[in-house]
Amino acid sequence: MTGEIGVQKANSKNESQELIEPVKLKSAVFDRFIGWTSNTTAIFITKETENHSFEVREYDIWNGKENVLYSKKNPIITVSISPRKSFLLIHTSSSPEKADIEIISRDGHSLYGASISSSEISFEWNMNDEEKLLVTSFFEDWTFTNYLLNAKQKTIVPINIPKPFAQWSGPDEFLFMDINKNQQHMEGKLLKKKLYGNEVHEVVKSIIQYRKLNKNLMIIQLDQDKTSLEYKLIGDSGNTQLLFQKPLTWNNDEPIIPYWEIVEKKRTLLTFLSGDSGEELTNLVSFDWNSKQQTVIVENAENAPLQCNPDGNLCLYGYQLEKIIDLHAKKVFDMVEARKDG
The per-residue pLDDT for range 138-183, each reduced to its tens digit, is 998 889 999 999 999 999 999 999 999 999 999 999 999 998 766 5
pLDDT, tens digit, 9 for 90 and up, residues 280-327 = 678 999 999 989 999 999 999 999 999 999 999 999 999 999 999 999
Predicted confidence at residue 342, as pLDDT, reads 52
In sign, the C-alpha dihedral spanning 263, 268, 273, 275 is: negative
Alpha-carbon distance values, 148 to 26, 89, 94, 109 (Å): 39, 14, 22, 21
Of 126-130, 146-150, 183-187, the range with the lowest mean pLDDT is 183-187
- Eight-class DSSP state of 310: T
Sheet holding 188-194, edge to edge: 167-170, 173-179, 188-194, 200-207
Instruction: Tell which residue, 257, 255, 262, has the closest CA to residue 272.
Output: 257
CA gap 122, 232 in Å, rounded: 25
What distance in Å separates the CA atoms of residue 55 and residue 34, rounded to the nearest whole number?
A: 12
pLDDT digits (tens, 9 = 90+) for 150-161: 999 999 999 999
**Tell me, what's the pLDDT at 12?**
39
Residue 181 sits at φ, ψ, to 5 deg, of -60, -25
For every residue of 208-225, DSSP letters joined together read SEEEE-SSEEEEEEE-TT
pLDDT given at position 18: 57
Q: What are phi and psi of 150, to 5 degrees?
A: -120, 105
Task: Label residue 218 by pLDDT band (50, 70, 90).
Answer: very high
Q: Indicate if the alpha-carbon torsion angle 61, 66, 72, 73 is positive or negative.
A: positive
Q: Strands 23-25 and 336-338, how do they pair?
A: parallel
CA distance 39 to 22: 15
pLDDT at 341: 59
Question: Residue 307 in contact with residue 260, Cβ under 8 Å?
Answer: no
CB of 149 within 8 A of CB of 101?
yes
How would residue 15 be classed by pLDDT, with cut points 50, 70 and 90?
very low
Quote the pTM value.
Answer: 0.89
Instruction: Note the pLDDT of residue 253.
Output: 75
Rounded mean pLDDT, 330-334: 94
Rounded to an integer, what distance in angstroms lies between the CA atom of residue 158 and that of residue 170?
19
165 contacts: CB under 8 Å, gap ≥ 6: 122, 136, 176, 177
Neighbour-count burial of 285, counting CB atoms closer than 10 A to its CB (0-12 exposed, 13-18 middle, 19+ buried): buried
CATH architecture entry for 7-338: 7 Propeller (2.130)
pLDDT confidence of residue 280? 63
Domain ranges in the chain? Answer: 7-338
Task: Phi first, then psi: give them for residue 266, nearest 5 degrees.
Answer: -100, 5
Does residue 185 surpass a pLDDT of 70?
A: no
What residues contact 292, with CB distance under 8 A and at least 6 apart?
Answer: none
DSSP state of 182: T
Confidence band, pLDDT 50/70/90 cuts, at residue 113: very high
